Every structure is written in structure tokens, then in C-alpha cells.
Structure 1
Amino acid sequence: GATAPAPAPQSLPQELPQDLAHAPRQQPGAAEQQAMIEAAARAAVASQMAQMAQMAQPPPPSLPPVMAPDNSQIQVQRSVAAPQIHPGVQQAYQALNGGQLGTARQQYETVLQQEPTNRDALLGLAAVALRENQGAQAASLYVRLLEINPDDGEALAGLIGLRQGDMVQSEAKLKAILARSPDSGPVLFALGNLYAKQRRWPEAQQQFFRAYSAVPGNPDYAFNLAVGLDRLNQPRLAATYYQQALALARTAPAAFDQG
């Protein structure tokens, strides 16, 4: 469905680019992995440019994964009729996109008065709370979404991103959702952030790439993919994604510092 995407949780490793000069050098034996990363990421850039040139056609499903995740070959494509979006949700998203947080909050709350379980409005209100650094409020909204649907991957990913809990348990929960929904951008992104916190950069970069491949219009996914590539000593390729992230941030809400 055309849900309003929530900005990345505040645990987004925004500070990482500042200390990239101190990133550990990659082991010489990983040249083949480097080549795979570069080839796959270049394919993603080419796909994105082609998509923009062809009036936003969906990215090709054959886009190669960075390090061939186990479930990449088993993807079930479902044709689901797009649900009707509440007009208030669309207005609120436009306000959020324009940085008018107060207006967006008011619009989302109005929708929820009419439809208390409207998923788009709950996610949007959580996005507003995150932008206003109201982590506790965002967490309560994610909990509400999980009460409505315990398998809501976006709500779980948001909640895990906010809470510094048991990383092993969080990783298991995210992987369980990915087993059912391997192309869930928010869950892939949350798993990448979880690995990044543990400095597990090859795994983090893989998840950021998968998130970006699933949702190529999300600026935060492009930004963290750039961070992951930088950490794997791919500065030129990383620069491409930093530029892509900034370009996408002009038309979609972004959580990273654009200064």
C-alpha cells in the first residue's frame, strides 16, 4: 500500500561519516567481496537512474544482492489491491514532507479521531514524534500498532530502533519477520542498524543494500548504504550514495543531517 513512510529511528548512525577516516582497512583476502559489493551497488545506481528516466518504473526484481542472502531466491510476489488512502493522511504526509510538523500532527490526530486504528495515521504520528525527539510517544504508537497486528514489521522495526534492548533477541525477531517478508525495507533497515551498532559492517552494509533495493526512494536507506560502503573502504561508491541520499531528501522526509 502507499503508506506514509516513517523517518528512520533516531538510532540512525548519523555521526558515522565524521569518523570514517578511522575505519579499519579491509583485509586483502576480501577482494572478491569488494568486487561483488561494487558491482551490485553500481547495478543499483544504474537501476535508480533508469527508473528516474522512465517515469518511476519499479526497480527490476533481478537486482543482485550484495552477498547473496539465504532467502533472496525465494520471494513470493503478491498482487494486492491498493487500499484507499484517507485524504487526511495524504495532507498530513505532505505537511510532514514540508517540515510542518505541527500541521502534520494535527492532521494525523484528526484522522485517528475518525479511524482509531488507521495504520497510516499511526505510523505518520510516530514519524512526527521521532522528528520532534519524542521517543516515548513514538514507542507507544508502535506498541499500539503491534497490538492491532503483532506481525507489523514496520512497527516492530521502529520499536527495536528506539529501544536499546537485547540485541540477540532483536536480531532474531527481525529475522523472523524477514523470513515471511524478505523485502520489508523498514525491517531490513532496522537489522542493518542493529549490525552497525555492533560494528558488524559487512552484514550491516548487506542489509542497507537490501533495504535500498526494496525502497530506492528512501533517502535514509541510501544514506546508510553509503555509510556501510564507506566502512568497507569503497569511498567513491559511497560518495555516489551520499549524493543520491541528498537528492532523495529534497522530496522525501529524511532523518540524517543534511548540513
Structure 2
Amino acid sequence: PRPPAATSPPPAQRGALGQVTPPPAPPAADPASTPQFRRTQASAPTVAAELAAGYRAYAAGDLTTARRHYQAHLQRDPNSVDALNGLGAIALHEGQPEQAAHWFRRTLAAAPHNASAIAGLSATGLAPADDREAGLRHTLAEQPASAIAAFSLGNVLAEQGRWAEAQQAYFQAHTLTPDNPDYLFNLAVSLDQLGQRRLARDYYSQALDAARDRPAVFDPAPVLARRDALTEALQ
């Protein structure tokens, strides 16, 4: 059987875009200027209720409810990166690339180097592949720990049939976020395309295992069929 298309899971998969950003850790105290006897401690900042509810609905596939929560949060904070990226991700899922680009551009107006928005814009496919590749490589050079940028670069390379380079990008994304099922799936596809059947089978299995614990874009049924076909061929 032919392997699944490597670009079938869009970069804006559940959990990759529109997620709530964890509150930043407080800066380390300077012992020379900080009192030694502190009886109270400031509580950690909390995530806005609309953002948390929006992401829960988004992860569950309830895009209508997610959109309502994100839009409600934007009424209070028009420059909320999480809400803007969430609305962009919803538009991508609904096949509205122009609308998605609108939200991602608003994110970049508020946060010019936001990797999720840059990856989201690439996922719309509105720009030429060369331009998208250059933009993602620039983002990775500035933010080497950005898994979504590496994954999106892999998708752009896979679109062009550059499987060896795509495999490297997918592996980088997987290394940065080991439990993401879509990263594992596309890594398996790239290895499959390169004829590395044993590794491809192992990563298909890992993708299926990871998809039990968190949402994934790929359909498990054909992945399971391909994994089993590879297992039989390797015996």
C-alpha cells in the first residue's frame, strides 16, 4: 500500500496552534537585594478563563465553541496572541486560508517573531514555496527550539518531494516535542518515502501510541494498515 501523504496533517493541528501559553516563570531573586525573611509569596499569574475554555474546545474538535471563547477574549484583549492564533488555526481547519492568514497577520503585528503565526501563515499555502521555506528557515535560525517551525519547514519540503531534507526537519520537530503524534506520523511518512521501512514502521507505531494520549490530525486507520503492512513485509 502507498504511504499516506506527508502533508495531510496541517501544521495547525490540534495542540500546535491556538494553545494557551503557560505563564512565565518569575525571575530568579538576587540574594544581594532580596530580603532574607519573606513570609508571603506572590501567586502565579492565571490563564484567562476564555483562553483556557477555547483551547479545551479546540482540542476536543468543537471549533464553534472554541471560536466563541477566543472572540470573547479578544473583546478584552485585542492583541492576545493565543486568541489570534487560535482563530487562525480554526480557519485553517475549516479550509479558509485567507481568513486564517488574516488572524496570523494580526498576531505578527502584535508579536512579530511569533513562530506559531509564521508557521500558520506557511500552512495557508498563499505564498510561493520558496518564500515560505526561506521564512521558516529564518525563524528556525532565530528560534532553534521552535518545534512548530521545524515541522512546518518539513511540510514545505515534503510538498516539493525533498524527502531527505523533510525527514531532517520532521526529526528536529520530534526531538523538540517527542510526544506529538503528528510530528511522529510525518517523520514516519518521510522515512517510508526514503525506503527506510523498519524505522518507518517503528515511528508509525509511536504515532499511534501518542495519538491515544493527545489529539492528532491524522486518521489512525490507514496508519495502522500501513504499519501492519510494513511489519509483514519485514518478516
Q: TM-score, normalised by structure 1?
A: 0.65
- Determine whether 1:182 maps to 2:144: yes
- The aligned counterpart of 2:25 is 81
Where in structure 2 are the equivalents of 1:30-109 lying within 5 Å? Answer: 81=25, 84-109=46-71
Relative distance call for 1:225 and 1:245 in structure 2 (3 A) is: same
User: Matched residue pairs, number?
Assistant: 185
- The aligned counterpart of 1:50 is none
Relative distance call for 1:217 and 1:120 in structure 2 (3 A) is: farther
- Determine whether 1:197 maps to 2:191: no
Q: CA offset at residue 114 of structure 1?
A: 1.4
Amino acid across the alignment from 2:207: A
Specify which of 134, 143, 147 is matched with residue 105 of structure 2: 143
SS of match in other structure, 2:132? helix
Q: CA offset at residue 164 of structure 1?
A: 4.3
Where in structure 2 are the equivalents of 1:90-239 lying within 5 Å? Answer: 90-239=52-201
- The aligned counterpart of 2:7 is 13
> Given that residues 92 and 124 in structure 2 are in contact (C-alpha distance below 8 angstroms), is that contact kept between their aligned partners in structure 1?
no
> Given that residues 201 and 232 in structure 1 are in contact (C-alpha distance below 8 angstroms), is that contact kept between their aligned partners in structure 2?
yes
Q: CA offset at residue 248 of structure 1?
A: 2.7
Relative distance call for 1:124 and 1:247 in structure 2 (3 A) is: farther
Amino acid across the alignment from 2:190: G
Q: Distance in 2 between matches of 1:193 and 1:131?
A: 16
Q: CA offset at residue 125 of structure 1?
A: 1.7
Identical-residue share of aligned pairs (%) = 44
Q: CA offset at residue 84 of structure 1?
A: 4.1
RMSD: 2.1
Q: CA offset at residue 162 of structure 1?
A: 1.0
- Determine whether 1:241 maps to 2:203: yes
**Deviant stretches of 4+, over 6 Å:** none
- Determine whether 1:253 maps to 2:197: no
SS of match in other structure, 1:255? coil
SS of match in other structure, 2:220? coil
Q: CA offset at residue 169 of structure 1?
A: 2.4
Amino acid across the alignment from 2:116: E
Answer with 236-245 or 191-200: which moved more.
Answer: 236-245
Q: TM-score, normalised by structure 2?
A: 0.72
- What residue ranges of structure 1 are gaps of 5+ in the alignment? 1-10, 16-79
